Structure 1
Amino acid sequence: MTDKVLGVILGGGQGSRLSPLTQTRSKPAVPIAGKYRLVDIPISNCLNSGIHRMFVLTQFNSASLNKHIKNTYHFSHFSTAFVDILAAEQTVENAAWFQGTADAVRQCMHHIVNHEFDYILILSGDQLYQMDFQTMIDAHIAASAEITIATIPVTAKDATDFGILKADESQMITSFIEKPKTGLEDWVSDTGETMHEEGRDFLASMGIYVFNRDFLIKILDENPEEKDFGKEILPRAIRSNRVLSFQYEGYWTDIGNISSFFEANLGLTDAIPKFNLFDSTHTIFTRGRMLPPSKISGTTLVKTVIAEGCIIHASKVEHAVLGIRSRIGSETTIMNAYIMGSDRYQTLEEIQQDIDAEKPLIGIGDRCYIQNAIVDKNCRIGNDVSISGGAHLEDGDFGLYAVKDGIVVVKKGALIPSGTVI
C-alpha cells in the first residue's frame, strides 16, 4: 500500500524561536543527537514505514539542508525511491514566498502531481518521534476518511500550546480549537484509561496529516486564500468532511524552541531514553561519514552520548551530548551541555599556525567549565573559559552567544577568547 503514498516534509519558516541555531541554517538542518539533522527524523520514519518517495519543501537558509539531503539519500537506479528538495520559487502565477503550510503545498503541487499516488502524507521537519505511518494510513483507508490527523493525548497544562480536537465514538473529528486559553473542560476527550491516569485528557494535533490525493487538490484549489492547514484548511474541513483522529501514544516532541531542543537532546543520555536511538526497528538514517572511532583519555564519563571522530581529554563529562569531531582539552568539565562538534579536522600545519598566533583551536580548550549550554559547530573556545548557564542569566543576544531560558548558546563558528567568563 505504501507505493500509493507520497511524503511531503515541510521545512518550516524562519525558525526564529530556535535562533541562533537557525541564523545560518533552516530548522530541519539543525544538528541533533550529535550526528543527525532534524530532517532525518521524518525521512527515517517514512523509510521505516515503507514510504520511499518524499519531497522536502524549503524556503529559508536552505543551502546546508539541500547539501545534506543530496549527500545522504541515494537510492538504486532501479528504484523509484527519492528524497527531493522543492524550494520556494517565483513563477508567473505566483511571485510570493510560501505564506503558510497549505500555501507551501499549493505552490509545489504542480511538481507533486507529476507522480502517481493515492494518498499524501504531510509531515513537519522539526519534530522528534518514531512512528509507523503504515498503521495510520491503514486506519485512514479503513475509515473511508478524506483526511486523517495524527493526535496525541496531552495534559491541561500543555493543551494551551496546541490545536485541540474532539472526536466521536468512531474517532471522526467533530470540532477543533487553536490553542485554547479558557473553557478547557469542554474539550476533554476519552483518550483511554492509561492516558487518563497520566492526566492526558486532551487530543492535540501533531501536525501530521494524511490526505486523499483528489481531495487535497480540490480543497487547495477551491480556497486559494487559505494559507495554513492547522488554522484554516482543517477547521473548515472538519465541519463538512470525514476527518479521522489517529491517536498516537508514543514519545513525540515539537522542537519549537531552544528549551525543548536542549531537553530533547539531553534526554538521549537517559538509561532508557524516551526516544530510542538503539531500536533497530526504527533506525534513524543520516549521512554516512568515514570517521575514525572516538578517542578518550583520562575522562570520567557519566550519562554521555558521544558521536564518531571525537578527541576527548576532559577531566569529566556528565549529562552531555558530544557531536562529531568534538575536541575537548584536558582538565575541562562539561555538564548539562550539547557540544555539536565540527565539520572538519584542522591539519597539523593549521594547528601550529593557530598556536603561534595564540588563536584558540577548533573545539574546547584546557581547564574550561561549561554547564547548561549549547555549543554550535566549528566554535573555537580558548583555555580557562567558564560558561555557566542558568536562571541567573538575562535572556538576549550578546554577539558571540545568546541566552534563551537560561541556556547559553554559543553561535556557530564563534571564537571565545581564553579566560572569558559567561
Structure 2
Amino acid sequence: MPAHTDVLAVILGGGRGSRLYPLTSMRSKPAVPIAGKYRLIDIPISNCINSGIFKIHVLTQFNSVSLHRHITNTYKFDAFHTGFVEVLAAEQTPTSEAWYQGTADAFRKQLFEIQAARVDHVLVLAGDHLYRMNYSSMIAHHLKTDADITVAVQPVLTEEAHRFGILKREPDGRIVDFVEKPKDQATLERMKSREDGARPFLGSMGIYIFKITALIDLLTEHPDYDDFGSDVIPHAIRHRPVQGFDFEGYWEDIGTIRSFYDTNLKLTVPNAPFNFYDSKAPIYTHSRFLPGSIVTDSRIDAALITEGCVIDRAEIIHSIVGLRSLVGAGSVVKDSILMGADYYDTRPHDIPMGIAEGCHIEGAILDKNVRVGRGSQIRPFPRGTELDCGSYVVQDGIVVVPKGTILPPDTRIGPSA
C-alpha cells in the first residue's frame, strides 16, 4: 500500500480512564490488555500501519510508563524507513507548566512537534477503541471534498442516540449541526440524517482529519477551546467546511468495565464481531517468544487461550486466558478474563502465581500477576452492584481483582460470601 507521506497520525493516549478502574490504577487506558495478548493502543497503531500511515505520534500523560515501554519495545522501523511511532509526553515548558487540559489542549501544547512533521493533514485518533479501519478511504474522501475537517461517523440506533454526540449531515455530506447526547424528542427529530427507520442518526466516532492549516488556526485563535468534541468541532461546523465520512464496520468504545468485559468475552466464540486473525490487516503487538500452551485432561469450551499457559485438569468456559496463565487441577473458570502474568514465577512462594487447585472463578476479571489460593471462590454480583473492598472491586456486578493481588486460600467473594 502506498504510504501517506503527507499525513501525520496523532493518537490520544493520556486519559485517566477512571471508569476502567482498577485496571487503570497502575497503567493508562490505552495500555490496558485486551484479547489476552494485545493492548488497546495496538489497535490504532496497527490501523495506521495497515493504511500506509507511518508518521505516528502518541500523546501521553497519566500512568504512562507501561504504555511508553510497550510502544518502544514493539514499534521499531529500520534505518531505511522514514516512519516513526513517537511518544509525546506531557511536559513543563517555558510557556506552560500545566498538564493537558483536554484533547485539543494536548495538541496545542505539542503544536511545535506536530508542525515539525511537515505534513498537510493530521489524523486524530483515540487510544481506547476496538475497530479495524483503513484510513485511506477517509483520507480520499477528505481530499476529494476539500474539507477543512472530516469526521468519521457511524449510524446510530434510535434507542442509542442519547449515548453519542449526534451530527446532522446535509445531502452533500457537509455536517451542519452537532448535539452532545440529545434526549428530547424535538432535538432528535431535527438531527435525523439517514433514511433508515432503525438507524436514522449519525454519531461521531472521535476520529478526525484536519488540514494542518485549519488545525493551527483553530487551536491558536481559540486558546480557551480545550476539547475537540465539546469545543473545536462544534465551532468549526458553524464556520468551516466539515464533512462526514461513513463507517459501518464494527466499532466499540472500551470506556467502562462492563464494555471491556463484554467486548472481550465476545471474542471467545466463532464469528466474533471483531477478528484479530485478518491476514491482510493484522493487529500488531509486542513479540514474545513463548511456548505453546499445555492443556492436560481439561474441558475447554468457547475460550480464547494465548501462549505460554498451563491448564491442568481444569474447566475453562466462555473465558479469556491471557499470557503465562496457570490454572490448577479441579478449578473452574467461567465467564471470566484472566490477564495472565508478566513473567513466570521461579521463586518459592506460599501461593504460586495464577489460580491454584480447586478454585471457582466466575464473572470476574483477574489482572496480571494475581495469585489465587487453593479452594477460593469468586462469583458475580447482581448487575449494578458497585463495591471497593481493597483486594477486589465490583463494577456493575463484575468482580475485578487488581494487578499483583494475593488472595489467600479459601477466599470467598460473591453476593453470599
Cα-to-partner distance string for 1:93-139 (whole Å, 9 max, x where unaligned): 11110000000011011111111211100000000000010000000
CA distance in structure 2 between the partners assigned to 1:321 and 1:213 by the alignment: 42
- Separation of aligned partners in 2, 1:76 and 1:220: 34
Q: For residues 27 and 199 of structure 2, what CA distance do their matches in structure 1 show? A: 35
Which residue in the other structure is 1:101 paired with? 103
* Cα distance in 2, alignment partners of residues 283 and 244 from structure 1: 29
**1:390 Cα deviation after fit:** 3.1
Question: Which amino acid is the alignment partner of residue 116 of structure 1?
Answer: R
Q: 2:313, 2:238 → 1: CA distance?
A: 59
Q: Secondary structure at the match of 1:220?
A: helix
Q: Distance in 1 between matches of 2:104 and 2:121?
A: 16
Read off the aligned partner of 2:117 and give its amino acid letter: H
The CA distance in 1 between the partners of 2:137 and 2:131, in whole Å, is 15
User: What residue in structure 2 maps to residue 408 of structure 1?
Assistant: 399
1:393 Cα shift? 7.9
Partner of 1:43: 45
Q: Give 2:157's aligned amino acid.
A: T
- Whether the 8 Å CA contact 1:334–1:370 is kept in 2: the answer is yes
Q: What aligned pairs does 1:19-38 form with structure 2 within 5 A after superposition? A: 19-38=21-40
State the distance in 1 between where 2:383 and 2:241 align: 51
Q: Greater CA deviation, 110-119 or 53-62?
A: 110-119
Instruction: In structure 1, give the amino acid aligned to 2:376.
Output: V
Measured after TM superposition, the shift of residue 182 of structure 1 is 1.3
- In the alignment, which residue of structure 1 is the partner of 2:243? 244
1:375 pairs, out of 350, 366, 371, with 366
Q: Name the counterpart of 1:188.
A: 192
- Deviation of 1:392 after TM superposition, in Å, equals 6.8
Q: State whether residues 12 and 124 of structure 1, in contact with CA within 8 Å, keep that contact through their aligned partners in structure 2.
A: no
TM superposition shift of 1:346: 1.4
- CA 1:387 to 1:314, structure 2 compared with 1: closer, same or farther past 3 Å? farther
In structure 2, give the amino acid aligned to 1:167.
Answer: R
Structure 1 pair 166–138 and aligned structure 2 pair: CA distance change class (3 A): same
Q: Which amino acid aligns with 1:361?
A: P
**TM-score normalized by structure 2?**
0.96
Cα distance in 2 for residues equivalent to 1:28 and 1:103: 19
2:314/2:327 contact within 8 Å kept: no
Partner of 2:16: 14
CA RMSD after TM alignment: 1.1
Structure 1 Cα separation of the partners of residues 204 and 219 of structure 2: 20
* Displacement after TM superposition at 1:314 (Å): 4.3
Q: Distance in 2 between matches of 1:421 and 1:12?
A: 36
Match of residue 380 from structure 2: 389
2:201 alignment counterpart = 202
Q: How does 1:28-107 map to 2 (within 5 A)?
A: 28-107=30-109
Partner of 2:277: 278
SS of the residue corresponding to residue 351 of structure 2 reads: coil
Q: Deviations over 1:347-370 (max 9, x none)?
A: 2xx1xx32xxxx211101111111
* Cα distance in 1 between the residues matched to 2:43 and 2:95: 33
Q: Which residue of 2 aligns with 1:420?
A: 411
Letter in 1 for 2:42: D
Deviation at 1:240, TM superposition (A): 1.3
SS at match of 1:28: helix
Q: 1:175 aligns with which of 177, 180, 189?
A: 177
Q: Where do residues 215-364 of structure 1 align in structure 2 (5 Å cutoff)?
A: 215-347=214-346, 350=347, 353-354=348-349, 359-364=350-355
Please state if 1:163 is matched with 2:154: no
Report the 3-state secondary structure (helix = DSSP H, G, I; strand = E; otherwise coil) of the residue aligned with 1:134.
Answer: helix
Aligned partners of 1:86, 1:364: CA distance in 2, in Å? Answer: 38
- Amino acid of the residue matched to residue 161 of structure 1? R
Deviation at residue 158 of structure 1 after TM alignment: 1.8
Instruction: Report the count of equivalent residues.
Output: 409
Question: Tell me, what secondary structure is at the counterpart of 2:363?
Answer: strand
Distance in 1 of aligned mates of 2:234 and 2:6: 26
Conserved in 2, the CA contact under 8 Å of 1:42 and 1:124? Answer: yes
The percent of aligned pairs where both chains have the same amino acid is 48
Which ranges of structure 2 fall in alignment gaps of 5 or more residues?
none
Q: 1:315, CA displacement in angstroms?
A: 2.3
Q: Distance in 2 between matches of 1:394 and 1:205?
A: 30
- Contact 2:359 2:375 (C-alpha < 8 Å) held by counterparts: yes
TM-score normalised by structure 1 residue count: 0.95
AA at the equivalent of 1:362: M
Query: d(CA) in 2 for partners of 1:297 and 1:104?
Result: 50
Structure 2 residue aligned with 1:211: 210
Give the distance between the partners of 1:157 and 1:104, measured in 2 at CA: 33
